[in-house]
A = this chain, B = another copy of it.
Amino acid sequence: MRQEIQIKTDKHNGLYDITTHIESITKSSNIKNGIVTVYVHGATAAIMIQENWDESVQTDVINLLKKIIPEGIWLHDAQDNNGDAHLKAGIIGPSENIPLINGNLGLSTWQNIFLCEFDGPRQGRKVSVTIIEDK
């Protein structure tokens, strides 16, 4: 079972909590156990599991990546000025896998699923949610 969602992003760099979208897809699938693969179709975005108690960790993620991977100093900037976005996306990676347990996402209390935007804003980031049933 696979379903797509579109996430609008309004910042150049930002984390967007998409957990409720993924939950609603897993609920409506009626699959109880298996693996949920969340994949973003785009080479300047990523998926990260992270805390969402407040916005502090999200801001820390953006600031950390900005420090390690500064803007404007990459060979690829000669093409389309987003070398840092590609590097951030490549290191974080476009997907995460979460176990599905008795119909619920197997996230711990402080784990949420985030779309990481590194080259926004974008009208719609396409994210695929694939559920493989464990029979």
Taking beta carbons and an 8 Å cutoff, which residues of A are in contact with B?
1-2, 33-35, 37, 39, 41-44, 48-51, 53-54, 56-57, 59-61, 63-64, 68-69, 74-76, 78-79, 83, 86-87, 89-99, 101, 106-108, 110-111, 126, 128, 130-135
Tallying the copies of this chain within the complex gives: 3
Q: How far is the CA of A60 from the CA of B63 in the complex (A)?
A: 20
- Pairwise interchain contact A2-B134, C-beta atoms closer than 8 A: yes
Q: How far is the CA of A128 from the CA of B107 in the complex (A)?
A: 11
Q: How far is the CA of A75 from the CA of B57 in the complex (A)?
A: 7
| Residue from the list B78, B111, B130 in contact with A42, Cβ < 8 A | B111
| Residue from the list B75, B92, B130 in contact with A134, Cβ < 8 A | B130
